[in-house]
Amino acid sequence: MTGYDGTGTVGAGIVAFGITGLEVWYGVPEDPNAQSSRLVFYPTLEDAASAFSAQGYSATPGGGKYIGTLVRAVRVALTAQSPGNLPGKGAPDTLTVTETVELRR
């Protein structure tokens, strides 16, 4: 993706304008005992711990088994708005970029 260099011409690089949102989801396996289990993403550690509360998981260290030890991936979404009224451009666009990062153990 190309960015805007401030002079009205398109430059190289990734640029975000008017950031309006940043979201993070935590990926934990459906079955914590199966290495290749499908990941389910939760918006908070509390939500993830709640899904595994019957197995004694907690959202905070020291409150039982810490759900953070099960997190195998993090999904991040950045939402931003492009600047409006650029030469040859109309109204601003709202764009979201989402990336999932697998964690190594």
CB 9 within 8 A of CB 70: no
Are the beta carbons of 13 and 2 closer than 8 angstroms?
A: yes
pLDDT in tens, 48-101: 999 998 899 999 998 779 999 999 999 999 888 876 666 666 677 788 889 999
Query: β-strand 3-4 against 73-81: which pairing, if any?
Result: unpaired
How do residues 19-32 score in pLDDT, each as one tens digit? 889 999 999 999 98
Per the document, the length of the chain is 105
E-only strand ranges, 6-59:
10-11, 19-29, 39-42, 57-58
For the full predicted model, state whether its pTM sits above 0.85. no
Q: Which of 83, 77, 80 is nearest to 97 (CA)?
A: 77
